[in-house]
């Protein structure tokens, strides 16, 4: 990553710092589109004038090896973070958008609890909640913290990009675990997305316990 691009990714954080914001959060999801597995969301809380992981960018643009390395760096540099997942059965029950919101709210709650814990015993007065949330593309209902929705936010804000990486790494790790249990579907490779090989496996073996039946209904004209 060039220094110029890294500076561009910190534009929103610098602007908020100038406006007096000291602690903010970034929120993003991973796994809205796959045919199987959960949707994951992450919230990363940072100090606007703190350090950021250089190389953090849209998780889809960087290699798995790089994401794994950044995962540890992001966690070490942020004030707190939270990752939450909502499974396929819940997705089928309430739809993918509402399930994504549910995962995001849970991730924000986890990160906020971590923030409160990190500020215990701090003599300086600091907010116990993030003062604003930078969110990729959407506005999350049921959240009291002010939100700034940014289209393509994971490619325009280092804080959102950091959240996208945490969400994707943790979801990908889970899909690799599912691959051991359901090796016939190849989850370790495609992570549940609708690749040709995955669709052929579904046609051959039928759906398994982690498939999103509402997604399959739209594709195959049947619900499993």
- Please report where in the chains the tokens 């703190």 appear, as a residue: 50
Q: What mean pLDDT comes out for the span 12-33?
A: 96
**Per-residue confidence at 125, pLDDT binned at 50, 70, 90?**
low
Indicate if the alpha-carbon torsion angle 181, 183, 188, 194 is positive or negative. Answer: negative
- The pLDDT tens digits for 153-188 are 999 999 999 999 999 999 999 999 999 999 999 999
**DSSP string of 129-151, one letter each residue:** S-S-EEEES---TT--S-EEEET
Residues 6+ apart with CB under 8 A from 81: 42, 43, 44, 45, 74, 75, 110, 111, 114, 163, 166
- Please report where in the chains the tokens 């190389």 appear, as a residue: 55
- The pLDDT tens digits for 134-148 are 999 999 999 999 999
- The pLDDT tens digits for 53-110 are 988 988 888 999 999 999 999 999 999 999 999 999 999 999 999 999 999 999 999 9
pLDDT at 224: 41
Alpha helices (H) along the chain: 3-9, 11-18, 64-77, 88-94, 96-118, 158-181, 187-190, 196-205, 213-220
What pairs with residue 174 in β-bridges?
none
Q: What is the average pLDDT value for the chain, to the nearest integer?
A: 92
Domains of the chain: which residue ranges?
Answer: 3-180
Q: Which CATH code is given to the segment(s) 3-180? A: 3.30.420.10
């Amino acid at each position: 990553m060039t220094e110029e691009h890294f500076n561009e990714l910190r534009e929103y954080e610098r602007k908020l710092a100038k406006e007096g914001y000291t602690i903010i959060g970034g929120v993003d999801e991973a796994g809205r589109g796959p045919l199987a597995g959960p949707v994951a969301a992450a919230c990363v809380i940072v100090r606007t004038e703190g350090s950021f992981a250089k190389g953090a960018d849209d998780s889809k643009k960087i290699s798995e090896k790089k994401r794994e390395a950044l995962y540890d760096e992001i966690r070490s540099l942020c004030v707190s973070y939270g990752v939450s997942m909502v499974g396929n059965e819940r997705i089928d029950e309430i739809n993918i958008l509402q399930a994504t919101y549910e995962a995001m709210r849970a991730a924000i709650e986890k990160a906020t609890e971590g923030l409160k814990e990190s500020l215990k015993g701090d003599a300086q007065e600091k907010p116990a909640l993030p003062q604003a949330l930078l969110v990729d593309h959407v506005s999350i209902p049921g959240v009291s913290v002010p939100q700034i929705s940014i289209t393509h936010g994971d490619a325009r804000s280092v804080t959102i990009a950091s959240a996208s990486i945490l969400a994707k790494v943790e979801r990908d790790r889970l899909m690799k675990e599912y691959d051991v249990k359901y090796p016939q579907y190849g989850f370790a490779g495609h992570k549940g997305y609708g690749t040709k090989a995955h669709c052929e496996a579904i046609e051959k073996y039928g759906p398994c316990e982690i498939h999103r039946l509402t997604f399959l209904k739209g594709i195959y004209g049947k619900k499993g």
